[in-house]
């Protein structure tokens, strides 16, 4: 299944893609795409629906973050051998774990905000997975049983904030709109082999990233098992698994983005995203505050 959330930011409703590729509204069936849906029984109930009886949505809908109320956004760094090499970083012997603030999440095609003072904004197409059931210290051979599905995530990174302003990577990774996610959550049964997917990203129409999950240092199953040793994962947690080569930091000389640039990216079977960079303005923060207060 392909599950999604649609509508204005902060007012998203659940949806599902039918067998002909039509987006249909699920709000008469479930409250949202959240913990109540992501477990095995919830997903089985959705599979049993007569999708033809659900309302068809307009093709131009806005796709929001495909999971509601994400508890945690956990990231794995330097998980492709060729990406570690291009950034002159040693190949890790264990997964590198860091966090992005969940406030960085936005819809797949929402504008990305260029922070005030940003000089080194970079792109990173990544495969992400969504935890479906509570997960704590699980063995690798059963780890994917705890995954509801997979999605595309752009792990945007302001490299100066990340690397040159004392502190951990989170500072350069967590600005609002720095984690476009979706358009869909694609359930595990639709992906024959998650370790055999192609990833790509174009900047202003030019292909800059091309990769395959076959080049991951640590597989998705290993990541689930490893991360669950150190934290109890919850339904709705998103874990993103690293980026292939071709980021701006790895170019010679490095290339970073500016307002007006357009990113287009995708992963086999998981859909595509497109984002345009817009400059930050203080009224953006004021609108965000007002929406949260409401």
Mean pLDDT confidence for 25-53: 97
pLDDT at 87 over 80: no
What is the rounded average pLDDT for all residues in the chain? 96
Hey, where are the domains in the chain? 69-285
With bands split at pLDDT 50, 70 and 90, how would you rate the model's confidence at 288? confident
Spatial contact of 19 and 37, defined as CB atoms under 8 Å apart = no
With bands split at pLDDT 50, 70 and 90, how would you rate the model's confidence at 85? confident
Mean pLDDT confidence for 159-181: 93
Tokens of 59: 């093709």
Cα-based angle 251, 263, 171 (whole degrees, multiple of 5): 70
pLDDT digits (tens, 9 = 90+) for 216-259: 999 999 999 999 999 999 999 999 999 999 999 999 999 999 99
pLDDT of residue 123: 98
pLDDT of residue 292: 67
Q: Is the model more confident about 190 or about 84? A: 190
pLDDT at 64 over 50: yes
pLDDT at 168 over 90: no
3-state secondary structure 53-103: HCCECCCCCCECCCCCCCCCEEEEECCEHHHHHHCCCCCCCCCEEEEECHH
With bands split at pLDDT 50, 70 and 90, how would you rate the model's confidence at 48? very high
pLDDT of residue 104: 98
Which 3 state secondary structure label does DSSP give 264?
Answer: strand
Mean pLDDT confidence for 78-87: 84
- Bridge-based pairing of strands 121-122 and 157-158 is antiparallel
CA distance 232 to 40: 19
Mean pLDDT confidence for 100-114: 98
pTM given for the model: 0.96
- State percent of the chain over pLDDT 70: 99
Tokens of 160: 């100066």
pLDDT of residue 294: 46
- State percent of the chain over pLDDT 90: 91
- Domain covering 69-285, topology: Fumarylacetoacetate hydrolase; domain 2 (3.90.850)
Q: Which of 24-38, 75-89, 166-180 has the highest mean pLDDT?
A: 24-38
Q: What letter would DSSP give residue 74?
A: E
| Partner residues linked to 100 by β-bridges | 73
With bands split at pLDDT 50, 70 and 90, how would you rate the model's confidence at 293? low
Spatial contact of 98 and 262, defined as CB atoms under 8 Å apart = no
Distances in Å between the Cα of 284 and the Cα atoms of 63, 90, 288, 289 are 20, 39, 6, 9
């Amino acid at each position: 299944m392909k599950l999604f959330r649609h509508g204005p930011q902060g007012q998203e409703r659940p949806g599902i893609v039918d067998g002909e590729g039509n987006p249909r509204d699920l709000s008469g069936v479930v409250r949202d795409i959240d913990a109540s849906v992501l477990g095995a029984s919830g997903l089985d109930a959705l599979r049993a629906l007569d999708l033809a009886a659900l309302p068809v949505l307009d093709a131009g809908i806005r796709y929001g973050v495909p999971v509601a109320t994400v508890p945690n956004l956990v990231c794995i760094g330097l998980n492709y051998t060729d990406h570690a090499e291009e950034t002159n970083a040693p190949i890790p012997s264990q997964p590198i774990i860091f966090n992005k603030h969940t406030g960085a999440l936005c819809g797949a095609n929402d504008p990305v905000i260029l922070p005030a003072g940003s000089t080194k904004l970079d792109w990173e197409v990544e495969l992400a997975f969504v935890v479906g059931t509570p997960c704590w210290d699980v063995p690798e051979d059963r780890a994917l049983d705890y995954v509801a599905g997979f999605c595309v995530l752009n792990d945007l990174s302001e490299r100066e904030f990340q690397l040159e302003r004392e502190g951990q990577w989170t500072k350069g990774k967590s600005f609002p709109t720095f984690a476009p996610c979706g358009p869909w959550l694609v359930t595990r049964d639709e992906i024959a082999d998650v370790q055999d997917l192609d990833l790509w990203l174009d900047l202003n129409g030019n292909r800059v990233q091309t990769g395959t999950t076959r080049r991951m240092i640590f597989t998705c199953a290993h990541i689930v098992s490893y991360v669950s040793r150190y934290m109890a994962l919850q339904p709705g947690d998103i874990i993103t698994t690293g980026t292939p080569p071709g980021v701006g930091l790895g170019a010679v000389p490095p290339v970073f983005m500016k307002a007006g640039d357009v990113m287009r990216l995708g992963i086999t079977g998981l859909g595509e995203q497109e984002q345009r960079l817009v400059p930050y303005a203080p009224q953006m923060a004021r609108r965000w505050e007002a929406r949260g207060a409401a």
